[in-house]
Amino acid sequence: MKTNIKIFSVLITIAVPLLLLMTSIRILLNPFFLDYEYNLPSFPADEFGFSKADRLNWGKLSLQYLTNDAGIEYLADLKFENGKPIYNERELSHMLDVKNLVQLMIKIMIPLAAFLLVAWLLAWRIGWLPQFWKAVSQGGWTTLALIGLVLVGVVLDFDALFAGFHRIFFTGSTWLFYVDDTLIRLFPEKLWSDAFTFMGALTLAGGVICTFLGARLAHKTH
């Protein structure tokens, strides 16, 4: 019985930070984030000629591609007024890689959320609610520790953190582009730095809630 409770608790402790992180990323994969970023006074202008309207248009379409069911032709068919595609082959290949990663994340989120719901129902049915909420609290603490490390990385050396992330999830130099490529012009470093910060803040908030709410409910149901 003790072994079962321990395994049960460990799985919950792992699931909580994963779900919180993925939920934060999914929230940021929303056009409202681009609206916010592109309207910041400190957001850098495009030195090659994109207007704010251009960036919002192409940027939102690019985000939609990542979360919808369309094929790469969704982006490949986008063209400037002169008929030139907005994305080159290298950029399209990278966007396909990113979409595969995002779609995998979305597919994992649903079973994770379902697992936590089933775990709660099981705990309620067999009298393990104190252990369930304690594991949720431990998952919250784990989240705080992990996000704390990420935020320290953002502050100390964002470039190294950004490069390290891409080396983990993408092969070779497929994620490197020229400064006049559309991807760089639509999504400059400022946007990514802010995205990492917001992601960390959202996940951190979720971690705080899980930590203290879990501890309180664990005590209350004991």
Q: Roughly how many angstroms between the first and final C-alpha of the chain, as a whole number?
A: 17
Q: Express each pLDDT in 21-39 by its tens digit.
A: 999 999 999 999 999 999 9
| Domain spans, the chain | 20-128+148-202
Q: Express each pLDDT in 37-65 by its tens digit.
A: 999 999 999 999 899 999 999 999 999 99
CA torsion, points 43, 46, 50, 53, in degrees to nearest 10?
10
Residue 215 banded pLDDT, cuts 50, 70, 90: very high
The single residue listed with the structure tokens 């719901």 is 117
The neighbouring-strand residues paired with 122 are none
Inter-residue contact 25 to 104 (CB < 8 Å): no
Inter-residue contact 34 to 192 (CB < 8 Å): no
Which backbone phi and psi does 98 adopt, to 5 degrees?
-65, -40
Going from the C-alpha of 12 to that of each of 120, 131, 136, 220, the distances in angstroms are: 10, 10, 6, 19
Residue 206 DSSP symbol: H
Residue 152 has pLDDT above 90, yes or no: no
> CB atoms < 10 A from the CB of 217, how many?
17
- Mean pLDDT lowest for which of 9-23, 74-88, 130-144, 149-163? 149-163
Q: Where are the alpha helices (DSSP H) in the chain?
A: 2-28, 31-38, 52-67, 73-76, 89-126, 129-169, 182-186, 189-220
The single residue listed with the structure tokens 């950029």 is 91
Q: Express each pLDDT in 85-132 by its tens digit.
A: 999 999 999 999 999 999 999 999 999 999 999 999 999 998 889 999
Q: What is the mean pLDDT of the chain?
A: 91
